[in-house]
Amino acid sequence: MNTYPHEYESSLQQPESFWLKQAQQLHWFSEPKQGLQRNENGTADWFVDGELNMAFCALDYHVDNGRGEQTALIYDSPVTQTKQTYSYRELREQVAHFAGLLKKHHVKKGDRVVIYMPMIPQAAIAMLACARLGAVHSVVFGGFAPHELAVRIDDARPKVVITASCGVEVDKVIPYKPYVDEAIRLASAPPQRVIVWQREICEAELQTPRDVDWQKALAEVTPAECAVVKATDPLYILYTSGTTGKPKGVVRDTGGYAVALRYSMATVYGVEPGQVMFTASDVGWVVGHSYIVYGPLLTGATTILYEGKPVRTPDGGAFWRVCEEYGVNVLFSAPTAFRAIKKEDPEARFLQLYSLTKLERIYMAGERLDPPTLEWTREMTGKPVYDHWWQTESGWPICANPVGITEYPIKPGSSTLPVPGYDIRILAYDGTELEANQQGAVAIKLPLPPGCLTTIWGDDARFNAGYLREFPGYYSSGDGGYKDDDGYVFIMGRTDDVINVAGHRLSTGEMEEILAMDPAVAECAVIGVADELKGQVPVGLVIVKDGVTITSQVLSQRLVQRVRDEIGAVACLRQVHVVPRLPKTRSGKILRRLLRQLADGDSQVTIPSTIDDPGCVDELREQLSR
Ligand code: COA
Ligand code: AMP
């Protein structure tokens, strides 16, 4: 039966009753009677009178209801040759104990805790322990450099930082603890404590009394109980790239998020309690928060925490091995991961070594799913492959194929239909609504459904300016796209200075700020250019100051290193061109679109009539093609 149209309509027409009904899927300490309440930001608070605890819903509830011995989490680490499973009971015990340790160090409801960890189970345990206490976690992706960590520490002002002695990237051991030490040195609001999980592969040096050895300290603590938190209390802050160097701390509430995740697990992913979900991402990204940790556990499913890559750990069969070994039902990763597999194993020979009988569906998000990657994955695996679109801000899918209620035909290039709760409109830049097949700004009519960001941490003004002011009455997504005659949504790319590199969201504005700090640089631009594997990679263009004698090669290397040191290896800025001029409008604005077209080798470049100096175009084309 085609139930999606009805469900979608009722989610928009009667949002309160629709979501209150979904809320019944969870265990509340105090069940909400009120759905939605407008707040001073012009957005909505969900379930204001509800009380719950996220870790209770994710763990204790299942232990109390017969799932204690079921596997909750599987840790698979090809980089350290480790495999471990945790039942719901074991995970609850470890979380409660670690929460006891946090409590001993005076962490309480509302305190912030920064988590800077590799993909080990202790990352999830740390998150869930914070949730158990009602503390607000902020996970920082391990690929970020100390400076980025310091910026986040200063913004979130955590009482405690939790880290591990090291991460392992394929065959490189990356010591995390020295990065934390350096970040704390740079930070103006250092934490009182650093709790360190020591990995055998590389033990960290601890500084007493600030640093605490996780394993040793646990012996002396008693487990902590779940705190009662309001649905509107923040569960976490997750920093994401905006258009400037200052990352935005997306604030996620507890109740709305829990309800949205539980709903999405059934509606979007079709995952039932007891099934196995393998989300190959990182807990440092929103995908990891929602579908490695909270979504599967809220559902009573089994989640896989994978410390490896799609390739090189040890080969392009890595994902397929995990799928066979643990009977994975749903696999989710970024298109770039499948492009990497396709590049290493175009004929999918490794795939033939494994049985994917249990695998029902493959999901991709984080960047546009290009039709060739969709086709290849579908053809090689024989499984349906779904594109779905969402953002750190939304916390869960905005557009998807709602397979749990009605499965729609797939159209390559489209993330299918708006998920119930999201009223998606395509707007012209003056705010008028566009018709089918016309491309414009993708906006969501307010109110946003449960689960979406409630504000930017400590900065309501930035939240309003960044998302709500452009189109009054709408949330502005920052993405451009269109809807076709059947209402399918096609997301075509960002309309701001945010780029997507290997499924990681980065700010070109931030990279420009770093390049501009170099004493030799007079002016610069960073653009995202198309890359076969990573989707996009950043490329820098700089003009040197008059009188500077440094060679282009030396300057270029210095700038690449500067960005790596400041942002981290994940920035992937590998090319900086020293150019004599940059194309600008007569009013002095750099023509970035033109630069992108030139760098992509686009033969159909249209030179804007507003250009100040048309002569620079051929010169740049030649230089960028080298
Ligand atoms: N800790 C420390 N360093 C990290 C890191 C982490 N958690 N993650 C990445 N890095 C480093 C890498 O080692 C690499 O360093 P290098 O320049 O010294 O080699 C750099 O950051 C770039 O990493 P990455 O972009 O991951 O490139 P890669 O070549 O190692 O791998 C892919 C390419 C496509 C295989 C990989 O990006 C991938 O699997 N992506 C999946 C996408 C994903 O998880 N997206 C999240 C949203 S769904
Ligand atoms: P992040 O906040 O890191 O999840 O990145 C969100 C951004 O990634 C979105 O604003 C889009 O630009 C892009 N994105 C994510 N998923 C998709 C998708 N399925 N199709 C197109 N773009 C996507």
A 10 A CB-CB count for 552 gives 13
d(CA 70, CA 129): 20
pLDDT in tens, 57-99: 999 999 999 999 999 999 999 999 999 999 999 999 999 999 9
* pLDDT on residue 347: 97
Q: Whose CA is nearest to atom 6 of ligand 2?
A: 391
Most confident of 307-311, 493-497, 548-552: 307-311
501: left (phi over 0), alpha (psi -120 to 50) or beta: beta
Q: Which of 140, 368, 369, 475 to mutate to test the pocket of ligand 2 (most atoms within 8 A of CB)?
A: 368
What average pLDDT does this structure show over 217-236? 97
Q: Whose CA is nearest to atom 20 of ligand 2?
A: 368
Name beta bridge partners: 249. 239
Atom nearest to 500 CA in ligand 2? 8
Answer for the pair 247, 151: CB distance below 8 angstroms, yes or no: yes
Average pLDDT, the chain: 96
Domain boundary among 230, 247, 262: 230
CATH number of residue 615's parent domain:
3.30.300.30
- pTM: predicted TM-score of the whole model, two decimal places: 0.96
User: Ligand 2 mean position to 63 CA, how many Å?
Assistant: 35
Examine residue 589 and state whether it is found in any structural domain, yes or no.
yes
d(CA 26, CA 229): 14
Q: Whose CA is nearest to atom 15 of ligand 2?
A: 366
pLDDT tier at 624, thresholds 50, 70, 90: confident
Atom nearest to 240 CA in ligand 2? 2
Examine residue 537 and state whether it is found in any structural domain, yes or no.
yes
Atom nearest to 309 CA in ligand 1? 39
* pLDDT on residue 488: 98
Q: Which of 79, 119, 169 to mutate to test the pocket of ligand 1 (most atoms within 8 A of CB)?
A: 169
Name beta bridge partners: 498. 507
Q: Which two tokens stand for residue 282?
A: 């990182």
Measuring CA to CA, how many Å separate 223 from each of 98, 184, 235, 494, 622? 7, 29, 20, 45, 65
Give the residue carrying structure tokens 């209620």: 405
* pLDDT on residue 44: 87
Answer for the pair 573, 540: CB distance below 8 angstroms, yes or no: yes
User: Ligand 1 mean position to 570 CA, how many Å?
Assistant: 6
What average pLDDT does this structure show over 120-126? 98
**Of 479, 466, 469, which is closest to residue 425 (Cα–Cα)?**
479
Q: Whose CA is nearest to atom 9 of ligand 2?
A: 391
d(CA 277, CA 296): 7
pLDDT tier at 468, thresholds 50, 70, 90: very high
Ligand 1: residues whose CB is within 6 Å? 118, 142-143, 167, 169, 174, 281-282, 285, 287, 309-311, 333-334, 336-337, 340, 366, 502-503, 569-570, 572
553 burial level (CB within 10 Å; 0-12, 13-18, 19+): exposed
User: Ligand 1 mean position to 569 CA, how many Å?
Assistant: 8
* pLDDT on residue 588: 86
Element (H, E) at 95: helix 88-104
Q: Is 313 helix (H, G, I), strand (E, B) or coil?
A: coil
Q: Whose CA is nearest to atom 3 of ligand 1?
A: 143
Give the residue carrying structure tokens 């770093």: 514
Residue 127 has pLDDT above 90, yes or no: yes
pLDDT tier at 579, thresholds 50, 70, 90: very high
CATH number of residue 179's parent domain:
3.40.50.980
Give the residue carrying structure tokens 């770039």: 336
Helices of type H across 292-396: 295-299, 318-326, 335-344, 371-381
d(CA 242, CA 457): 14
Domain boundary among 230, 256, 272: 230
pLDDT tier at 405, thresholds 50, 70, 90: very high
Examine residue 81 and state whether it is found in any structural domain, yes or no.
no
Buried b or exposed e, range 235-270, using 16+ CB within 10 angstroms: bbbbbbbbbebbbbbbbbbbbbbbbbbbbbbbbbbb
Examine residue 197 and state whether it is found in any structural domain, yes or no.
yes
Is the C-beta atom of 414 inside 6 A of ligand 2? no
What average pLDDT does this structure show over 502-516? 94
Counting ligands in written order, the one closest to the CA of 166 is: 1
CA 126 to chain centre: 18
Domain with 587, as residue range(s), is: 506-624
What average pLDDT does this structure show over 229-237? 98
Examine residue 22 and state whether it is found in any structural domain, yes or no.
no
Q: What percent of the chain has pLDDT over 70?
A: 100
Is the C-beta atom of 365 inside 6 A of ligand 2? yes
Q: Which two tokens stand for residue 548?
A: 């500077």
Give the residue carrying structure tokens 């075509």: 492
* pLDDT on residue 623: 83
Examine residue 142 and state whether it is found in any structural domain, yes or no.
yes
Domain boundary among 205, 230, 255: 230
pLDDT in tens, 408-452: 999 999 999 999 999 999 999 899 999 999 999 999 999 999 999
- Give me the number of domains the chain comprises: 2
Answer for the pair 440, 428: CB distance below 8 angstroms, yes or no: yes
Counting ligands in written order, the one closest to the CA of 242 is: 2
Examine residue 144 and state whether it is found in any structural domain, yes or no.
yes
Angle at 29 between CA 27 and CA 33, to 5 degrees: 85
